[in-house]
Amino acid sequence: MRSVLATVVIAAGVWASASVAWADSTGTDTGTQTSGADGSGDDACGSCEDPGDSVAFTDPLDGAQVPAELTVMVDVNYSCSCDDCGCYQDLPSEVTIAVDEGGVYSCFDGCTGPHQANVTLTPGTHEITATAQYSFHTESATVTVTVVEGATGGNATGGSGATDASAT
């Protein structure tokens, strides 16, 4: 085994040194990866089957006419994140639901699966956005709903006209 001490200049004039070791010509190290990035022990980097929409509204649907009091429901799935070695399942670190750009719900742990937010809206058109933050990217879905005075049934949520918001 051979080694060398190297001194390297790092940003802002900070000095660092490290000892580097490698096998000589009699060693058996080939320099290839011996374990997959997915921990499988093989040379594969990993793979990820596309789940389809990572963020999707289940209620209300885009363009729905809804009552002023409703429950917004969103399903959040993993997303595929890729690097130069392969792809892997990436779970969201945060999920938010916003009405007309005003937040009404947030999740910060264990954020896959169904999410819901109960809201009260004023009559008019409202935009509801669900956003999931993954390791290196963000995915979102948006629906537009209209609150009609006296409407019954349906399920939706709104924003700047929201007079009450609670999340479950």
What CATH number did the domain enclosing 62 receive? 2.60.40.10
Within a domain: 3: no
Q: Which residue has the higher pLDDT, 86 or 99?
A: 99
Q: What is the pLDDT of residues 45-58, one digit of tens each?
A: 778 888 889 999 99
State the chain's maximal CA–CA distance in angstroms: 84
Task: Give residue 76's pLDDT band: very low, low, confident or very high (50, 70, 90).
Answer: very high
d(CA 109, CA 19): 39
47: CB partners within 8 A, 6+ apart: 38, 86, 87, 88
Asked whether residue 99 carries a pLDDT value surpassing 60, the answer given is: yes
> For the whole model, what pTM was predicted?
0.63
d(CA 36, CA 56): 32
Q: Report the number of distinct structural domains present in the chain.
A: 1
Tokens of 115: 């999410």
Within a domain: 20: no
Domain containing 101 equals: 55-167
Please tell me the predicted confidence (pLDDT) of residue 37. 43
The helices-and-strands tally (H runs, E runs) of the chain is 0, 13
